[in-house]
Amino acid sequence: MLRRLVVTLMVTMILGLVVLIGLIVIRFRAPQQAITLPEAITLAGSGTAVAVTQGMGWYAVVVLDGDAERIEIYTRDGDLRQSVPITPSVAPAAP
């Protein structure tokens, strides 16, 4: 009985390892999408870009301007689409 349990465990572990290796190979063979950003980004106002992300047809830049932060959303052509100020959240006062 113990021998069958050990053999079953061994077969299960081998199959699990083969599945994991297969999934890793499949995942890394998939073509990776390259990030395509413009060569230069001209910010709408003053400030320093601290982060960039992209979506379908747009990209966003987090801008730090002194103590204020904002998110500027641009079209792929570089036109400013929207500017969203980031306000710090205020934690509720403890009772």
Q: Lowest mean pLDDT: which of 32-36, 41-45, 54-58, 75-79? A: 32-36
Is the four-CA dihedral 54, 59, 62, 63 of positive or negative sign?
Answer: positive
* Total residues found in the chain within this entry: 95
CB 73 within 8 A of CB 51: no
One-letter amino acid identity for 3? R
Mean per-residue pLDDT over the chain, rounded: 84
Phi, psi at 37, each rounded to 5°:
-115, 160
Give the per-residue pLDDT at 21: 95
